[in-house]
């Protein structure tokens, strides 16, 4: 079975397609707040899913890492609005030290191809 890689660099690919499954690398966004970073990450997720022949309606699973669980409600406000028009995927959210102190949220997505 063919493996297709999207936006591949020396360290990683932003997306990998295997069969009808799309795996995205963890997506982060820039900005001062969790809400701004969450929206930026979700915008990038939509872009990558489109490149892979998928969409947010086909997301199977989301894993969300927050630098601070105290921002859970703030992140959920953005997530809930973004996912409101499609069937909700499975999801897990946890707290983790992210790559730099500037990162407040990282979102990892697995989706089916459309």
Q: Are 15 and 51 spatial neighbours (Cβ–Cβ below 8 Å)?
A: yes
pLDDT in tens, the chain (114 residues): 799 999 999 999 999 999 999 999 999 999 999 999 999 999 999 999 999 999 999 999 999 999 999 999 999 999 999 999 999 999 999 999 999 999 999 999 999 998
In this predicted structure, what is the pLDDT of residue 1?
77
Element of type H or E holding 66? strand 59-66
pTM: 0.96
Three-class secondary structure of residue 33 per DSSP = coil
Q: Are 41 and 107 spatial neighbours (Cβ–Cβ below 8 Å)?
A: yes
Give residue limits of the domains in the chain: 3-112
What span, in angstroms and rounded, lies between the C-alpha atoms of 77 and 71? Answer: 10
Q: Are 52 and 20 spatial neighbours (Cβ–Cβ below 8 Å)?
A: no
The CATH class given to the 3-112 domain equals alpha beta
**Number of Cβ atoms within 10 Å of the Cβ of 49:** 22
Residue 22, Cβ density class (10 Å: 0-12 exposed, 13-18 middle, ≥19 buried): buried
């Amino acid at each position: 079975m063919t493996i297709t890689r999207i936006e591949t660099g020396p360290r990683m690919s932003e997306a990998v397609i295997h069969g009808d499954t799309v795996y995205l690398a963890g997506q982060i966004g820039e900005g001062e707040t969790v809400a701004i970073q969450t929206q930026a990450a979700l915008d990038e997720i939509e872009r990558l899913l489109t490149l892979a022949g998928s969409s947010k309606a086909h997301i199977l699973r989301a894993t969300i890492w927050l630098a601070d669980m105290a921002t859970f409600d703030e992140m959920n406000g953005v997530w809930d609005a973004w996912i409101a028009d499609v069937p909700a995927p499975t999801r897990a959210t946890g707290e983790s030290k992210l790559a730099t102190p500037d990162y407040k949220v990282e979102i990892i997505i697995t989706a089916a191809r459309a």
